[in-house]
Amino acid sequence: MSTPALFSRVLCSICTLVCLSQGCGSETSARIDPSLPSMNSREVGTAMTGNYSNEAQAKADAKFDSIVMHMRPIWVDRIDGLWLYVEQSLAATLDKPYRQRVYQIVDGNDANSVVVRIYELPGDLSQYAGAWKKDQPLRQLMPDLLVPRAGCNVTLRLDDSKAWIGATEPNQCSASNDGASYSMSSVTMTQKEIQSWDRSYDSKGSQVSGSTSGPYIFIKTSR
């Protein structure tokens, strides 16, 4: 099933649930259940979905590794946000991803924001490698088996240039790699690219890992 079709199923499910709960054709049918994904959440979900590469950036600047990233919708019948499986690999070792996450896209605290909640997968991560290739990725899992990354949510807002821009809360996302105490991530996203800048810091505020030359620039190569 194509990605547009998957999100169409989500939208159809939402419409059906609204009709069942509120009564289509009645005076209450115009009300929108606040627990359902807004147009902003669906826009962010559609923008994120796809296959990405920063090959051009890596060729132009040796300080950046060549990385491939895949984002695929999962659990498309759920109404508690939009869910994505995210996998990143070095271009030289595509079958050995170094990062595997689940994102849950939900509405923010106001009409102009969207929150991306970050989760870790349970168990041996190698069992999920390449799941983005499947028609129904992570079908065997349920959200309550995921491990939330506390303090690592990313809040996105739409700016005047129609890009979604956001970051984690300062010093809140704990980390333990390379002697780090916490990490910070900033994101700028359009329908065609994602700029992502992940950095980790020790308890004294000194950067211990991540790019020191700006964000990785991932160009969407396909959906």
Side chain identity at 80, as an amino acid letter?
Answer: D
- Domain ranges in the chain are 35-222
- What one-character DSSP code corresponds to residue 121? P
**According to the model, what pLDDT value does residue 178 have?**
81
Q: What is the pLDDT of residues 97-139, one digit of tens each?
A: 999 999 999 999 888 899 999 999 999 999 999 999 999 999 9
Return the structure tokens found at 123: 């168990």
Return the structure tokens found at 188: 């700028």
**According to the model, what pLDDT value does residue 35 have?**
52
Return the structure tokens found at 140: 């065997």
**Alpha carbon distance 149, 16 (integer Å):** 32
**According to the model, what pLDDT value does residue 88 have?**
98
Say whether pTM exceeds 0.85. Answer: no
Asked if 159 contacts 165 with a C-beta cutoff of 8 angstroms, the reply is yes
| Fold topology of 35-222 | Lipocalin (2.40.128)
Q: Which of 181, 221, 199, 180 is nearest to 50 (CA)?
A: 221
Q: What is the pLDDT of residues 47-82, one digit of tens each?
A: 999 999 999 999 999 999 999 999 999 999 999 999
Q: Which burial class, exposed, middle or buried, applies to 207 when counting CB atoms under 10 A from its CB (0-12, 13-18, 19+)? A: middle
